[in-house]
Chain A
Amino acid sequence: MDYLQLMGFGPNGWGYGMLAATGMTVAVALCGYLIGSVLGSLGAAAAFSRFMPLRAIAGFYTTVLRGIPDLLVIYLFYFGSSSVISAVGALFGAEGFVGAPAFLTGAMAIGVVSGAYQMQVFRGAVLALPKGEIEAARAYGMPSFLLFRRIILPQAARFAIPGMGNVWQLVLKESALISVIGLVEIMRQSQIGAGSTRQPFSFYLTAGALYLLITFVSGRGFRLAERRAMRGVRRAA
């Protein structure tokens, strides 16, 4: 069977499977990334808090989650929640190990890890805000929410978007690790295909191309967003 048939959409082709797996990769990465955005903004807000314990928690979170391997976080989430589910199952008479839902576990694991990185991006963006322009907004009578919406947010976006693009790429690659808990995304699907057809090279090469395609398209999106946000900023020629 040649490559085109192998990856095609015919009766013996793996095309649909790989396509669905690509959708799964994007879905789990996106969910994790959004969870991370929420955790990251909360973390950044806590890091600027006047309340010391909040700052300490935020510091602990970002230090620990950035300091341990992502794979370990995924295992901790998976086996942690699985043992809870198994224990609950045992109460109702189920026997043995009950696995946690892979998508949810994977998205959560990606979420807490990427949140730790996004927190640093947001923190840096807030620190980079031009203080004088914020002061001018206050001096012109802007109440805090208006000031946040009209001045702080668009300015912080400038500084955050490039870093957010980096975190997105990390998240996308990290999603491959979720294959270890059985979620059928690009990596897992390629393993299955490689195993059953004995053509590992074709599958892993295709997987690589699919990841590149996703990062390429989303990279364009981030660059567009960055160009929009950077209006008015003079660059060194």
Chain B
Amino acid sequence: MPDPAKTPAVQLSNIRKSYGEHEVLHGVSLTANEGDVISILGSSGSGKSTLLRCINMLEVPNAGSVSIHGEAITLDQKPGQPPRARDMRQVNRLRAKAAMVFQSFNLWSHLTILENLIEAPVYVLKRDRKEAIAEAEALLARVGIAEKRHAYPAHLSGGQQQRAAIARALAMHPSVMLFDEPTSALDPELVGEVLKVMRDLAAEGRTMLIVTHEMGFARDVSTRTVFLHNGVIEEEGAPAEVFENPRSDRFRQFISRDH
């Protein structure tokens, strides 16, 4: 029996992903342990979002394996056929543990903020509705938008929507949180409020994988930085190390370019 404390929260081994003839991930391996905050950097087209989306099977890798808390997702990866997950019930169960926060928030627009928070806990996790509401209200207070609970997403600012989306993720009691460029769609003055919430989560010791362009955040908050270039990991290590002494020229160029 492996020690549960040492079982990685997420383990990606040799992930390959192609769209038609074009391969965007050329065999990427990445392990996130309990409490890791991993920032995934890279220019657009480097495959960083695709890698994140392979964790919860929004993209199914053509080759390689994905494990969440030691449970490997069973995949059908036959050559010449589109890859697919064999057991959607397994996928859905694991998806509920790996809550995702999207670049464009993707709150359900026909539901109020409170309803957004309780939707998956009540209907997917089958939690008691009253308890889910009480917890959702506490989460909204925590991210500072308690007064918006009966508003619809369209009536919130981008920063408020993203904070609501983070609260929606927290309501799942996730064991790992996946952030896909959470601040890229925000006006510059709204980025800070979202990053502050994420900082607090990291300080709590939550396991987080964050695809981001926020260099300062990656440097200050993450426990590990991964730099992806053309579908391979070019640089990986503690942020203090890699930002001070980048081994790869490409990463050196990347951080000196505009940050």
Does A221 sit within 8 A of B, measured CB to CB? Answer: no
From residue 123 to 182 of chain B, which have CB atoms closer than 8 A to chain A? 123-125, 152-155, 168, 172
Asked if A34 CB lies within 8 Å of chain B CBs, one says: no
Would you give the shortest CB distance from A232 to chain B, in whole angstroms? 3
Q: Is the CB of B92 within 8 A of A142?
A: yes
Does the CB pair B108–A146 fall under 8 Å?
no
A230 to chain B, nearest CB (A): 9
Instruction: A99 to B111: give the CA distance in the assembly, Å.
Output: 53
With a CB–CB cut-off of 8 A, which chain A residues contact B125?
141
What residues of A have a CB within 8 angstroms of the CB of B88 in the complex?
143-144
CB pair A141–B92 under 8 Å, yes or no, is yes
Once the chains are docked, how many angstroms separate the CA of A143 from the CA of B119? 13
B95 sits at the interface (CB 8 A):
yes
Min distance, Cβ B108 to any Cβ of chain A, angstroms: 5
Contact of B153 among A138, A150, A232 (CB under 8 A): A232
CB-defined contacts of B100 to chain A, threshold 8 Å: 136, 139-140
**A interface: dominant SS:** helix
A132-B106, A146-B124, A158-B110 given as contacts; is B152 within 8 A of A232 (CB)? yes
Cα A216 to Cα B94 with chains together (Å)? 51
The answer to whether B96 and A234 have CB atoms under 8 Å apart is no
Number of interface residues of A (CB under 8 A): 24
A-contact bits for B46-85, CB 8 A (1 contact / 0 none): 0000000000101000000000000000000000000000
B100 CB to nearest chain A CB (Å): 4
Give the docked Cα–Cα distance between A137 and B58 (Å).
11
The answer, yes or no, to whether B7 is at the interface (CB within 8 Å) is no
Q: With A and B bound together, what is the CA distance between A194 and B111 in angstroms?
A: 54
Nearest residue, chain A, Cβ from B95: A141
Besides A139-B102, A141-B120, 18 more A-B contacts (Cβ < 8 Å) are: A132-B106, A133-B106, A136-B102, A136-B108, A137-B108, A140-B119, A140-B172, A141-B92, A141-B95, A141-B96, A142-B123, A142-B124, A146-B123, A146-B124, A154-B110, A155-B110, A232-B110, A232-B152
